[in-house]
Chain A
Amino acid sequence: MAAKLSAPVDVQIELTQACNWRCRHCYNYWRSTETATEPGRHLSCDDIFRIVQELTTNQVPSITITGGEPFSRRREVFMLLEMAERTGIHASINTNLSFVRKEDVKKLADEHNSVSILFSLLSAEATEHERLAGAPSGSYVRVIETASLAIQRGILVSLNMILMRENLHAMEITARLAKNLGVRTFCATKALPNTHAPNSAFLLSAEEVHWSLAELMRIEELLDIPVDILGCYPRCLLAGTPAYQRFSHRTCVAGYTTVTIGADGNVRPCSHMETSYGNILHKPLADIWQKMGGWREGEFIPEECHGCPIVVTCRGGCRVNTLTSGLRNMDYYADTRHLVGLPQECLASRLSEEISDIPTKVMVCPQVRFRNEPFGALVYRTDPLAIVLVNHSAMAFLKTVAEKGEKFDLFSFLERSGARTESERRNVEHLYRKLVRKGFLITPANH
């Protein structure tokens, strides 16, 4: 059984198409090869109001404000943040930071302290960054100063370094800069093919991807900084190197857990794609989501992947990483030769579930919310953002104890779970531990 959600979990909102940089790797489909800054479309205040209404109706827990460069529409950024927060939606911002002013940082820190920022830096070498980003001289210094200020003010900031052949050499020095700044996570994400740069000479080869993942893990140990990737790879690329399985936590989630709303209101399965399934300014999000059902049913998983033993969790890698226009083509990095003869344990991504101290008595955190789903519920909280999907009986139990403020422990959770076999009990205990670790179950104040 796999969850098929009734609405997205995260929605990317492209507030504007305008951007003052011309990044070589930029995936905005409207990007031309020209260097002039066009004003571009943007969402009006009325549009934003309508979008937030739709997101609230569908209980979407999280948004990412992006563009273009969102801070070229400063007023709308703050308006969207305010509306989202008022309705209990978690927000984060993708920005190049170059338009962010000191007073913006102050306002974010003082009035929107749950927001997190992801900014792009293509190298810790200023001239290299500005060249690859098509950014004016002086941009680098401005970005670093703003990032530093935001971190000092307590805003969660992560750095995303888009990896191209030309900047691979700079991974360590850029991570050192990230560490010195105090960013939350250093992300190193491979560039993807895009429409305005048909010459894809900057894209990494499979060997370079392998090198970058090894380098990322070396950096993590050397600098003691959390690392991540923000794209997904087909699992067959990672198979054969057990250490790389940690990077298989990302799968193509286009139209599955996420959609992108463009500056024209069009709703697309993925930020990298131009194809729209409807306009949220004229149609309910629920109807548009229904039209995207094929993305959840595996319609775009490449034909060649269908017989693969791990296709269900892999889902065929990235749909824009085919280097051609065919959505159903194989991911450029897919290499099924790596799967031959591998035991299953080499293919499963695992995150540590152990928590050293399980509280004896717990209660459901008051901030927990439930979104009804055909399979049960999406259980979520938004500060910090955490999500778990449960079946009907677990949902019914959690709702009941939440309403009553009832306290319970692992023993009574197991007893009321209906688990009989050893395997069922193990899975229920696993769920309990996860609910504790993610802050859905908390220790009562007076306990």
Chain B
Amino acid sequence: MEVDIRNDTVAENEQNEVFAEVPLFGAEMAGSDESGDCGCFSCDGNPCVK
């Protein structure tokens, strides 16, 4: 039986990564808090619900 090495590698990497929030726009400074933090997912929508 063939083993899907690629999937195993992905799974292993996923297990080894440290818990983290993923920033929506990337490269935020440490401590900044923009990644999906408020309800600002569209303009002209409801205001921020912090």
Give residues in A with beta carbon < 8 Å to B: 1-3, 8-10, 12, 27, 62, 64, 66, 92, 94, 116, 118, 158, 160, 184-185, 187, 189, 226, 228, 230-232, 249-254, 256-258, 270-272, 312-313, 315, 318, 344-345, 348-351, 353, 375-376, 378, 384-394, 396-397, 413, 416-420, 423-424, 426-428, 430-431, 434
Contacts and interface: CB of A to CB of B under 8 A. Distances in A.
A201 B26 CA distance: 36
Nearest to A392: B14
Contacts of A250: 40, 43
A390 B48 contact: no
15 contacts: A1-B26, A2-B22, A2-B26, A2-B27, A12-B44, A185-B48, A249-B48, A257-B24, A258-B45, A271-B42, A312-B27, A350-B33, A385-B49, A392-B17, A393-B15
Contacts of B37: 249, 351, 388, 434
Contacts of A426: 30
Contact of B46 (A92, A257, A396): A92
A2 B43 contact: no
A232 B40 CA distance: 10
Nearest to B27: A312
Interface size class of B (residues with CB under 8 A): 35 or more
Contacts of A9: 36, 41
A118 B45 contact: yes
A2 B17 contact: no
A313 B34 contact: yes
A417 B41 CA distance: 28
Contacts of A388: 21, 35-37
Nearest to A156: B46
Nearest to B45: A64
Contacts of B25: 2, 251, 312-313, 315
A133 to B, nearest CB: 16
A418 B17 contact: yes
Contact of B42 (A158, A257, A378, A389): A257
Contacts, number: 186
Given A389-B24, A417-B18, A3 B43 contact: no
Nearest to B28: A313
A393 B14 contact: yes
Contacts of A64: 42, 44-46
B31 to A, nearest CB: 7
A63 to B, nearest CB: 9
Given A3-B35, A313-B27, A351-B50, A10 B42 contact: yes
A3 B22 contact: yes
Contacts of B36: 9, 378, 387-389
Interface centre among B21, B32, B34, B35 (most CB of A within 10 A): B21
A351 B33 contact: yes
Given A9-B36, A388-B35, A389-B36, A2 B14 contact: no
A391 B30 CA distance: 16
Contacts of A230: 43-45, 47
Instruction: Count chain A CB atoms within 10 A of each CB in B26, B40, B50 and give the residue with the most.
Output: B40
A428 B40 contact: no
Nearest to A379: B36
Given A389-B21, A393-B14, A417-B19, A253 B27 contact: no
Contacts of B41: 8-10, 62, 253, 257-258, 387
Contacts of B48: 185, 228, 249
Contacts of B15: 393, 396
B21 A430 contact: yes
B9 interface: no
